[in-house]
Amino acid sequence: MKIRPSRSFEKAIQFIVFRMGEDAAAAAVGRSTSLLRKWSDQDNDTLPSLRQALTLDQAFIEKIKEPAPIRAAYNGQLEKTIDQITPKSETIGEAYFNMQLAVGGVTRLLADLMLQHKTANVDELKLSPVVKELLLSELEKLSDEISDLEESIRGN
């Protein structure tokens, strides 16, 4: 199983497919499930068009009722570029709330898994390679936010 970088388009598409289901995601853009797998593979140069990416995000929002993953990946990549041009450290409060948001991402993923597996005990979950990768990605985001909080505290 390939580890996809967090905040990448490939990771966002993989997340959409995981949450919506492969067939529903493919139907949303009128493409095959194998093409969606190619879109989520960072070793394959195939990516959706802007219109297809927008359609996938819209279908995700409508079905899952959560923020758009491809938009988040796009924004994350732009933020990195902007930060390189105009480095600015977050306030302690901003960094703290961003860290809490990342904790919420881990919690939401685990809660979804517990619902899917109809268990109230997280230790009973059997994690597939895809789920492990998603959890590791959420933990990577959390680690980044903790580092930002540490930097904010040191810079204060």
Question: What is the sign, positive or negative, of the torsion defined by CA atoms of 75, 81, 85, 90?
Answer: positive
Q: Which residues contact 109 (CB under 8 A, 6 or more apart)?
A: 134, 135, 138
pLDDT string in tens for the chain (156-residue length):
577 667 789 999 999 999 999 999 999 999 999 999 999 998 999 999 999 999 999 999 999 988 899 998 998 888 888 777 766 678 899 999 999 999 999 999 899 888 888 988 888 888 887 788 888 888 888 998 998 899 888 887
Domain 9-77 CATH assignment equals 3.30.70: no
Looking at residue 26, what is its pLDDT?
Answer: 97
35's tokens: 């093409």
| CA distances (Å), origin 112, targets 88, 127, 130, 131 | 35, 12, 14, 11
DSSP 8-state secondary structure symbol assigned to residue 66:
S
Residues 6+ apart with CB under 8 A from 31: 52
- 124: DSSP letter: G
Q: Give the pLDDT confidence score for residue 76 in this predicted structure.
A: 84
Retrieve residue 146's tokens.
């903790």
Position 90 scores a pLDDT of 81
Please state the domain extents for the chain: 9-77, 89-155
Question: How many angstroms separate the Cα of 68 from the Cα of each of 19, 79, 104?
Answer: 12, 16, 16
No. of helices (H) and no. of strands (E), the chain = 7, 0
Q: Which pLDDT score is estimated for 122?
A: 84
Over residues 90-113, the pLDDT tens digits come to 889 999 999 999 999 999 989 988
Q: What's the sign of the alpha-carbon dihedral 116, 68, 74, 103?
A: negative
Neighbour count for residue 46 (Cβ, 10 Å): 10
